Amino acid sequence: MSIYTNVDQFSSVDTPFYYYDIGLLQKTIKSAKEALGNGPYQIHYALKANSNPRILNEVLKFGLGADCVSGNEVNRAIEVGFDPKNILFAGVGKTDREINSGIKHDIFGFNVESLEELKVLEQLSKTSGKKTRFALRINPNVDAGTHEYITTGKRDNKFGITLEELSLAISLIKSLEYTEFTGIHFHIGSQIIDLSRFKELADRCNEVQSLLLDHSFELPHINVGGGLGIDYDQPDKNSIADFKGYFSCFKRNLVQLPNQTLHFELGRSLVGQCGTLIARVLYIKPAEKTSFMILDAGMTELIRPALYRSLHFIQNLSSQEGSEVYDVVGPVCETSDAFARGLSLPKAKRGDLLAICSAGAYGEAMASQYNLRDAAPCIFSDDFK
């Protein structure tokens, strides 16, 4: 990453702030598109990972679609210029207002997550006088092998329609008049490194597709979701995710029919490594077994460590001398407000700048103003040119 080229400029900027490497973002998206290759494929960028308008404008330049999980994400996608015909709307709890907004904008389709939601979509489509497209989100009962809070494809998760409910869904779909069934949708989780999980998903997808074809359904679209992980341990060494392995897994194992489009919903793997949270050391405070390094950034700027106990690679940008063990913590009045415990770093002092890496996904997007803290601003690499 090019972050060290801007350290001197950072010294005069109020912290904390999010720093985005636009060059790396562009390189990452280009790599993903090259790995996928030409064919009946479409990548949709998952706005939940990062909905910063500048980031979205960069994504838009590469012809990606938008994957949204709220009405406001749909609105944001349209505001920055995404074609409604390339916008997907997922989520287990779509309100009538959000559904009506999607119908009004004539988006590409809804990923329906329950039979009750499908009935509501049918009724609202009838009222609007527009025929609405939808895919059925199937819960394939595939373990993503990741943190339980970001696993979405197991039977005890709230997402999608179970395989046991599929027969009921088939009967319901055949009775619909105002909605059009266009395909099936899956998403098994997030931050998946073990590609064998995606092979298992492809196998399950083949089973569901075969069943629906036996009932004379046409399936012009298959959406396998996203979930490809990034390297949080060595972000500099592995700044771009294994897109080749990810896409190849589906190309080898998924039965893609003629005239059928395969859709992917990628978020973290596209933007995760381009973002860094820059913070400043406020105090070094001795403790019983270590020292507390208290930063001016905390769980309000990056909640993942507090929420999932996830680890981000941390660098001291101001010092490379000596070594000391620290608990790297934030200023928020919660004991869980910590980025790392027992971490060996160059000896730090008040005023040092720290980089908390791999914060481009689920950093700014999940930020809060708890304790009435100010929202952290964003700075982009080309701001320094």
Task: State the average pLDDT over residues 322-335.
Answer: 96
Per-residue model confidence (pLDDT) at position 181: 97
Q: What whole-number distance in Å separates Cα of residue 353 and Cα of residue 14?
A: 11
Q: What percentage of residues in the chain have a pLDDT greater than 70? A: 94
- Neighbouring-strand partners of residue 93: none
E strand spans, the chain: 17-20, 41-46, 65-68, 87-89, 109-112, 132-139, 161-162, 179-185, 221-223, 261-266, 275-286, 291-295, 314-316, 324-329, 338-345, 353-356, 378-380
* pLDDT digit string, tens, across residues 229-250: 999 999 999 999 999 999 999 9
pLDDT above 70 (res 146)? no
| Lookup: tokens for 161 | 């329609």
Per-residue model confidence (pLDDT) at position 140: 77
Task: State the average pLDDT over residues 67-82.
Answer: 98
Per-residue model confidence (pLDDT) at position 151: 47
Instruction: Name the H helices within the chain.
Output: 7-10, 22-36, 53-61, 71-80, 96-105, 115-128, 166-174, 196-214, 243-253, 268-271, 304-308
Per-residue model confidence (pLDDT) at position 147: 43
Contact indicator for 179, 337 with CB cutoff of 8 Å? no
Task: State the average pLDDT over residues 147-154.
Answer: 43
Angle among Cα 364, 59, 9 to the nearest 5 degrees reads: 55
Selection from 325, 317, 365, 366 nearest residue 343 by Cα: 325
pLDDT above 80 (res 292)? yes
Selection from 171, 177, 183 nearest residue 122 by Cα: 177
pLDDT above 80 (res 150)? no
Q: What whole-number distance in Å separates Cα of residue 181 and Cα of residue 220?
A: 9
* pLDDT digit string, tens, across residues 255-267: 999 999 999 999 9
| Lookup: tokens for 130 | 């527009």
What average pLDDT does the chain have?
93
Per-residue model confidence (pLDDT) at position 11: 86
Per-residue model confidence (pLDDT) at position 148: 46
Phi, psi of 134 (to 5 degrees): -150, 155
* pLDDT digit string, tens, across residues 94-121: 999 999 999 999 999 999 999 999 999 9
Structure pTM?
A: 0.93
